[in-house]
Chains A and B, each alone.
Chain A
Amino acid sequence: MRRHVPLALCFIAGVFMAIQYFIPHPSVQAWYERLLAWLQTLLAFAFLIGTVSLVRLHAHKIGHKVAGRGYSWVLFVGLGLMVGFGFKGRAPGSPFDFMFQNVQVPIEGTMFSLLAFYIASAAFRAFRARTLEATLLLLAATIVMLGRVPVGDLLHRSIPAATDWILNVPNMASKRGIMIGVGLGMMATALKIMLGIERAWMGGTD
């Protein structure tokens, strides 16, 4: 019951989802759509598990008077407000939407934009012409960077063309090769999961 049932369910669900791709029969497709909706619903249910873990961790911090527990209160206030507002209404202009637009969107957007700084510091630190490979990486990056801005055109007429060439030839060839390898790795792993060979997802390998 503890090992065999989940593995059997895993196998059955996997085989069905794999072969439905080849069977256009409406009854099969109806089951496919139904199962897909179930899986998505399952995920929605699962979300609560994470939230419970989050709440437990921070309640623990507050309860044990851990340093910095004030921030745990901040977290609870944010969570409480969103849930409270959310079940009242989610239309544009509602408090729920206000919080989303003026708290979550700007913080996440700003975190994302930190990458503009990090991309510069990473380039400065790591782009060293130590080996042939590192030199090529550095040169390709530099040419493409130049080719993307007006200054590149001013520097030399052929820079935009060189940029296109790098993107469309060596870049394309290597991406394609990596993609094929990754695809095969994914398929092999998926098969091993279905057959119960790879079962880390249920904890351990016994």
Chain B
Amino acid sequence: MNMTLIGTTLAALLTIAVYSFLYKDNPFYKFAEHLVVGVSAGYYLVIYYYNFIDPTVVSPVFRLRIGGDAILLGGVDWWMALIPGLLGLILYARFFPKIGWVSRWALGIYVGGYSGLGIAPVMQARVLDQIRGGALPVHALHTGQGWTNLLLVVGLLGTLTYFFFSLKHKGVLGGLARIGIVFIMVGFGASFGYTVMSRVSLLIGRMNFLLHDWLRIV
């Protein structure tokens, strides 16, 4: 038996074990579930070490000691590489209840940094670009495009109104919000229907694996 066949058989048995969950929870599923949790934890541990910790911290710091050459990191001396290492180690303070609060320092930089990072791109992509895309010319109502644009604008305004929290949804506001929810529901239906195909493709892919790659009956 060669490794490919062993691998394929292993993968096939695990595939069937996962599908057995559709009937009911059972030992085979529990086995696959715990196995993949363990394997994925090991996988990420190794990948994170080699992709992040080694190149940004371990290599710059230790290669200097061993080789004696000054290693530059982004144009700054090697001690710069100690900073992320220290911040990382600070996180482990939480294992010691007395100094656990120190880990908040690293967390603060992390949470704050990413909060700030998101602000401008979100304004650009989710707000400004959408406003630009949403204000369409609607005056040419003698054409189909004019009507389409009108619907797009009305739908957009309605949806925005639906998410207006400062006033009760009554009167004109209520009417617009109602139009909004109608558009939202049609959109949800469309997304739902649209996704069916890609999910079924995945199932077909697994079936192809079982019947073709493993059993070779089709």
- Chain A interface residues (CB < 8 Å from chain B): 1-2, 5-19, 21-22, 30, 33-52, 54, 68, 71-72, 74-83, 86-87, 90, 96, 98-117, 119, 123, 132-134, 136-145, 148-149, 166-167, 169-184, 186-187, 189-191, 193-194, 201-202
Identify whether the interface residues of A are mostly helix, strand, loop, or mixed: helix
Interface residues of B, count at CB 8 A: 119
**Contact between chains at A86 and B152 (CB < 8 Å):** no
B84 interface neighbour in A21, A41, A177, A179, Cβ under 8 Å: A41
A82 to B37, CA, bound (A): 11
Please name the residue on chain B nearest to A121 by beta carbon: B22
Q: A79-B38, A103-B36, A171-B187 are contacts. A177–B158 as well, Cβ < 8 Å?
A: yes
A106 interface neighbour in B15, B50, B155, B190, Cβ under 8 Å: B15
Please name the residue on chain B nearest to A142 by beta carbon: B193
**Contact between chains at A173 and B189 (CB < 8 Å):** no
Identify whether the interface residues of B are mostly helix, strand, loop, or mixed: helix
Q: A71-B31, A174-B180 are contacts. A144–B189 as well, Cβ < 8 Å?
A: yes
* Interfacial chain B residues near A102, Cβ < 8 Å: 7-8, 10-11, 14
* Interfacial chain A residues near B115, Cβ < 8 Å: 10, 14, 17, 189-191, 193-194
* Interfacial chain A residues near B84, Cβ < 8 Å: 37-38, 41-42, 45
Please name the residue on chain B nearest to A82 by beta carbon: B42
10 pairs of residues in contact across A and B, judged by CB atoms under 8 Å: A17-B115, A17-B116, A38-B84, A82-B45, A115-B199, A119-B192, A136-B182, A177-B159, A180-B131, A191-B115
Q: Report the minimum CB–CB distance from B173 to chain A (whole Å).
A: 15
List 17 extra interface pairs beyond A105-B11, A106-B14, CB under 8 A: A19-B116, A21-B120, A34-B73, A41-B88, A45-B92, A54-B41, A78-B36, A83-B46, A102-B10, A107-B18, A110-B15, A114-B19, A136-B185, A173-B155, A177-B184, A179-B126, A187-B127
The answer to whether the Cβ of B122 comes within 8 Å of any Cβ in the partner chain is yes
**Contact between chains at B189 and A138 (CB < 8 Å):** yes
**Contact between chains at B39 and A104 (CB < 8 Å):** yes
B37 interface neighbour in A34, A75, A80, A171, Cβ under 8 Å: A75
**Contact between chains at A176 and B156 (CB < 8 Å):** yes
| Those of B1-60 within 8 Å (CB) of chain A | 3, 7-8, 10-12, 14-15, 18-19, 21-22, 30-53, 56-57
* Interfacial chain A residues near B116, Cβ < 8 Å: 13-19, 190, 194
**Contact between chains at A148 and B123 (CB < 8 Å):** no
* Interfacial chain A residues near B89, Cβ < 8 Å: 45
**Contact between chains at B206 and A110 (CB < 8 Å):** yes
